Structure 1
């Protein structure tokens, strides 16, 4: 038990090989391990800016599309809809290439039985950008296929036919897509035809209404919690409350004869109850006495000591020029960010039915392929015999990249021979989250004679974010020397500075941490942009001008400069305190998408009040501008909540709080009255949108507070430690 007392035990998690864009990194990383730091830095820089492509099926239109009898197109999406508007964006892309109206496109989640399975995940802000080319190509191929069949049925040359709103016409004849497809069993898939020119887009680039709006407004049963199966029972799983717990034994005698209990299942890694109702399952679960081997003395201060620069393994992820000398006169600051929960509205859950050699799993998940493999492996089934039926997600943010509850429900279903529905309680959801890890940063800089940075160094420590997760194995971190998720936002973007260096420290935490929306971007940008602002103040320079003078001339640098200028102009940025309000400026690049923000802030009763946020974003081509604006608004609110309120604690070996309220989050009254969004197009293809606008908000708010109070806030959540000097 000694190792448990000092928190040295590692949390065990399943590991899976990564495919797609990051798979390339994994292969080349062997070279990085051999040649170490220089190549490592190149690969990590590539990972930080890569726009991951879609790497699965892109050559069989009939796997993606279904032509219905009423002349609608059913699009089976391998990407999940979790509120980000993916279904609407891909419907727009498909409608334009198929020459159908938006009302004719119906988007559904692709069940794994369709064969349209994304082997990576829905995440990383890649759903629209990754599908931009392959989805339009597939739609164009289907259009050609349907025209060819219509030409045969009407005895007219294909080149004489026109298509509008899913109706093919020529020489006074016409057929709908449905009529053209009727009776066709053997489709000949053509080469990819020329895609439509931008000037011919009817829906791409337009603010069309969301395709899932009605279902959500009217409360249709589309989420995982709504899922049901005929004759289903209800499950519950006994979970420990303390960090690092491993199962020792269970006394189930008191629960076995409780009302409604059908069966109690004791496995090596979990104890489950199946009952006739959810309430009966929960009551029986509470009656089971489980002995756990757990950490007992962990607390927040212990975690803070662990998460301090200098602990763990270090890797220099970025380096240019010379480092600091011991006798250099430099400015230095330390920053911290806390443990963060996902706190999504819908808790994790699943309905599983195992019958014979097959299984059906209804679940809200971001990882259909991984969930299917996990269930198949545990039940010793052929992967193809496990059908994952995804639902809409009541919030994802990376939480649903981890779905072992699907395995537990499947085991329980097999044990009782009936479908089993199982959902986390809110307490379980908070205590058994895959948390955003806490971080610690040491950053220092030196100005030259002209008042600009001559040298800048950033060292930071983080737990696992992307690696050692269901998506990316820990081996990749070992080879690259850094977690590709933790370093997001950690790269110094002011590359005109002569000397700069970034060092990442990796620490293994005793509780599970993983993907949280924007990964390391939120904390790293808060630190970097707060420090840049402080150095601008020290140099007596305007914060915007100070930034612009130290950005390079590469294409991404030009785009960054443009969003900085656009945000400053739109907000009429200034650095005076007017009527008790001040502005703060910050900017970042994430997943090759630059974003700049201006926050207008006041101090009310010693609390930070955000009145207005101006956002300038360059996502490339905006498939649906309204949806991108909504994503920016959502990121601002979520980022505000994280940097002003949210934090988890460790007390007596337990993660707390375990319910909304004590886990403080931004409320409606805390939202800014205005979020003003400016969209730029610095490239001709769509880029990442869902996470990049989360980066600047923390520093923008902190920088405004610095001008209001003279106080540099260096720890999240931001709190005023002394009264305003105003």
Structure 2
């Protein structure tokens, strides 16, 4: 039987809470400006644990859904699919409230022309959690709209109608959703109806197969590199190799006369070649003589010098009790992480067509709204006249949170009056990435007479992560005193320690840095959880027991304790070395999702081999458990690659290496033979999934190595300098 309306007002309680919450942050922000650091710390604490709601279109079902004549339903997703399984999860949520089969939901990326535009981004592990409430409400509203129209067409009261897989029945009559929707132009949008109770779920909580699997297995043209437009030409952009280089001038005479060249576009910030083929465009690009103005040649040593605690602007992001003083008996360790590249398999690229005052752009992007605005501004046309058509992403990880190449392609298209397609070369992708910034950490701790921490302090320095990017303006860092991305994982989660403090130091680097999957979490957790392990060894305590005894009693603390215990139990955690293998333990909280991991490791020669990783995570309600397990497996492998192999260098003012191979990454042979995932549910709604499992893996591996060799590795990527095995 269909649900009846609950008589809710046009502004639902959920929307009221969102508006009220944002308003409250605004009030607190005023206080932060007046009272500075104490209130700033409160705001940063809220931001650090915030589960961001979806705040765009949530009351127009027909913007989100289309009913097809074959009784399938198209869902226009404002969130991008980049391998994380979002399309499958949202299909499950939509099918649940629409009362259709999962096979009847076809999920596609919402072009900006549909009006379903996410003004934030696909990032921050918010796709499923953010859409959990609004998408189900929209689907339920559409169901009620179809029921009301069916009742009118069938001349039956709504209460006598039932639904099964998109077929409405009553009084011996039947109509499909498609038949009900046929010919209807004006729909009356109802209030939000009562949503399904969890006990009645058919799809949510079930391991549904990926809805995008067939397209990827059969090689359908779904990625940005596959995008085409009729009659398109090909572009190439001249890019500098030196850090900080700015365009001064260009000599294009030789290139203009080369085979296949249609036009060369010289703007105030780039030079673009348009040709009949990719090869011709690339050859002509090499013939252009560009004058660049750049910094003096920098080296990795210069960058390390900049990225040292004490440099830049500091902000105490967390504080309780008294600070350690220099004459106290405390332990100190320092940790470093390097520059990291995104190194996604698909380089950035775009196809753009500008016709008069209208532009169409096909692109792999995580930021449809920002890309649309940037193109409109540069072309000096209305935003509504720019249609961004997103494609599947061949890897995102934050790399596609900034896509200004859409502007370059649009300008080239405008210059020739035809569509233009161009993609980064692999060298350009490496040299012009939005890198994970290097970090430096100084951690101090003091044990009491019982062998537990009496004081704990974490000072860490990072470049820009979330701020000074297209997504979040630098003014927010200036206002809050800290980069809200760099501090992820930098907060001290052992709040039962009587005295603790965390200080973020912000340094602006001479090259572009931004979001890299999990933001600051990977480096910050590596440092803090390695230090915690060292203190447990000094206290002669089991690493798990040492952690559990120093966690508070808030709701998130209880969830953290639960995942720590679950991981230890599932892995049969021991600190004994058995058959040449040792276990390392680590845990973290990211975006309100706690995660703990146990890595089983051996050392052969100087090579670190990861045999098995046990993951326990509490993401709240699991919309698709298989999808979450896959995310955990992906994070473990990606994190393992970062902590064992990946590193960018700076040589003679250039970022290097510029190809796979020299930029070493984990291969299939390096992957753990087993990744065991345990999911807990510590709350009734979905939480963040895509990034939290990246947190513990670095420290878990390093802590295992410490038990095997006696060596505390403090720098990523992990390299053994000595081998104490007999």
Give a deviation string over 1:288-333, Cα, whole Å, max 9, x none: 0101011232000000000000000000000000001222100000
**CA positional deviation for 1:606:** 1.1
Q: Which residue of 1 aligns with 2:632?
A: 632
**CA positional deviation for 1:526:** 0.2
**CA positional deviation for 1:203:** 0.3
**2:563–2:595 contact (8 Å) kept in structure 1:** yes
Give a deviation string over 1:257-291, Cα, whole Å, max 9, x none: 10000000000000000000011000000100101
Q: Which residue of 2 aligns with 1:74?
A: 74
Q: Which residue of 1 aligns with 2:677?
A: 677
C-alpha change, 1:284 and 1:21, in structure 2 (3 Å) is farther
**CA positional deviation for 1:725:** 2.6
Q: Which residue of 2 aligns with 1:465?
A: 465
Q: Which residue of 2 aligns with 1:405?
A: 405
Map 1:431-446 to 2 at 5 A: 431-446=431-446
CA distance in 2, matches of 1:196, 1:423: 46
| Structure 1 residue 252 corresponds to structure 2 residue 248 | no
Q: Which residue of 1 aligns with 2:288?
A: 288
3-state SS, counterpart of residue 389 of structure 1? strand
Q: Which of structure 1's runs of 4+ aligned residues deviate more than 6 A?
A: 19-24
CA distance in 2, matches of 1:656, 1:24: 46
Unaligned runs of 5+ in 2: 1-18
3-state SS, counterpart of residue 500 of structure 1? strand
Q: Which residue of 2 aligns with 1:55?
A: 55
Q: Which residue of 2 aligns with 1:199?
A: 199
CA distance in 2, matches of 1:67, 1:626: 28
CA distance in 1, matches of 2:69, 2:693: 42
CA distance in 1, matches of 2:517, 2:298: 26
| Structure 1 residue 123 corresponds to structure 2 residue 123 | yes
Q: Which residue of 2 aligns with 1:492?
A: 492
C-alpha change, 1:22 and 1:478, in structure 2 (3 Å) is farther
Give a deviation string over 1:472-500, Cα, whole Å, max 9, x none: 10000001000000000000000000000
CA distance in 1, matches of 2:326, 2:590: 33
CA distance in 1, matches of 2:299, 2:23: 37
**CA positional deviation for 1:544:** 0.3
CA distance in 2, matches of 1:417, 1:28: 51
**1:467–1:473 contact (8 Å) kept in structure 2:** yes
CA distance in 2, matches of 1:317, 1:196: 41
C-alpha change, 1:25 and 1:423, in structure 2 (3 Å) is farther
Map 1:602-641 to 2 at 5 A: 602-641=602-641
CA distance in 1, matches of 2:611, 2:542: 22
**1:99–1:163 contact (8 Å) kept in structure 2:** yes
| Structure 1 residue 45 corresponds to structure 2 residue 45 | yes
Q: Which residue of 2 aligns with 1:104?
A: 104
Moved more, 29-38 or 551-560: 29-38
Give a deviation string over 1:369-403, Cα, whole Å, max 9, x none: 00000000000010000000000000000000001
| Structure 1 residue 354 corresponds to structure 2 residue 354 | yes
CA distance in 1, matches of 2:596, 2:311: 33
CA distance in 1, matches of 2:20, 2:538: 45
- TM-score, normalising length from structure 2? 0.97
C-alpha change, 1:402 and 1:25, in structure 2 (3 Å) is farther
Q: Which residue of 2 aligns with 1:501?
A: 501
| Structure 1 residue 661 corresponds to structure 2 residue 648 | no
CA distance in 2, matches of 1:23, 1:209: 40
C-alpha change, 1:611 and 1:65, in structure 2 (3 Å) is same
Q: Which residue of 2 aligns with 1:137?
A: 137
**CA positional deviation for 1:22:** 8.2
Q: Which residue of 1 aligns with 2:235?
A: 235
3-state SS, counterpart of residue 595 of structure 1? strand
| Structure 1 residue 533 corresponds to structure 2 residue 533 | yes
CA distance in 1, matches of 2:568, 2:539: 20
**1:603–1:724 contact (8 Å) kept in structure 2:** no
Give a deviation string over 1:155-210, Cα, whole Å, max 9, x none: 11101000010000011110000001011100000000000000111000000000
Q: Which residue of 1 aligns with 2:381?
A: 381
Q: Which residue of 2 aligns with 1:172?
A: 172
Map 1:335-346 to 2 at 5 A: 335-346=335-346
Q: Which residue of 2 aligns with 1:181?
A: 181
3-state SS, counterpart of residue 134 of structure 1? helix
Map 1:192-341 to 2 at 5 A: 192-341=192-341
Q: Which residue of 1 aligns with 2:392?
A: 392
**2:28–2:39 contact (8 Å) kept in structure 1:** no
**CA positional deviation for 1:30:** 3.8
**CA positional deviation for 1:723:** 1.6
Q: Which residue of 2 aligns with 1:11?
A: none
Q: Which residue of 1 aligns with 2:15?
A: none
Q: Which residue of 2 aligns with 1:64?
A: 64
Q: Which residue of 2 aligns with 1:521?
A: 521
**1:710–1:725 contact (8 Å) kept in structure 2:** no
**2:584–2:702 contact (8 Å) kept in structure 1:** yes
CA distance in 2, matches of 1:269, 1:297: 21
**CA positional deviation for 1:33:** 2.5
**1:22–1:52 contact (8 Å) kept in structure 2:** no
Q: Which residue of 2 aligns with 1:6?
A: none
Q: Which residue of 1 aligns with 2:561?
A: 561
**1:445–1:453 contact (8 Å) kept in structure 2:** yes
CA distance in 1, matches of 2:52, 2:471: 14
CA distance in 1, matches of 2:303, 2:665: 22
**CA positional deviation for 1:34:** 2.2
C-alpha change, 1:308 and 1:26, in structure 2 (3 Å) is farther
CA distance in 1, matches of 2:30, 2:228: 46
Q: Which residue of 2 aligns with 1:699?
A: 699
CA distance in 2, matches of 1:599, 1:177: 51
CA distance in 2, matches of 1:290, 1:22: 48
**CA positional deviation for 1:248:** 1.0
Q: Which residue of 1 aligns with 2:422?
A: 422
**2:206–2:625 contact (8 Å) kept in structure 1:** yes
Give a deviation string over 1:232-262, Cα, whole Å, max 9, x none: 0000000000000011110101100100000
CA distance in 2, matches of 1:23, 1:585: 41
Q: Which residue of 2 aligns with 1:367?
A: 367
**1:20–1:54 contact (8 Å) kept in structure 2:** no
3-state SS, counterpart of residue 454 of structure 1? strand
**CA positional deviation for 1:25:** 5.0
CA distance in 2, matches of 1:233, 1:221: 19
**2:312–2:506 contact (8 Å) kept in structure 1:** yes
**1:82–1:396 contact (8 Å) kept in structure 2:** yes
CA distance in 2, matches of 1:351, 1:496: 54
3-state SS, counterpart of residue 594 of structure 1? strand
Q: Which residue of 2 aligns with 1:13?
A: none
**CA positional deviation for 1:604:** 1.2
**2:338–2:437 contact (8 Å) kept in structure 1:** yes
**CA positional deviation for 1:35:** 1.0
| Structure 1 residue 545 corresponds to structure 2 residue 536 | no
For the aligned residue pairs, the C-alpha RMSD in angstroms reads 1.1
| Structure 1 residue 32 corresponds to structure 2 residue 32 | yes
Give a deviation string over 1:115-164, Cα, whole Å, max 9, x none: 00000000000000000000000000000000111111111110100001
**1:244–1:510 contact (8 Å) kept in structure 2:** yes
Q: Which residue of 2 aligns with 1:9?
A: none
**CA positional deviation for 1:605:** 2.2
| Structure 1 residue 577 corresponds to structure 2 residue 577 | yes
3-state SS, counterpart of residue 479 of structure 1? helix
CA distance in 1, matches of 2:509, 2:78: 33
Give a deviation string over 1:557-611, Cα, whole Å, max 9, x none: 0000000000000000000011100000000000000000000000012100000
**1:22–1:47 contact (8 Å) kept in structure 2:** no
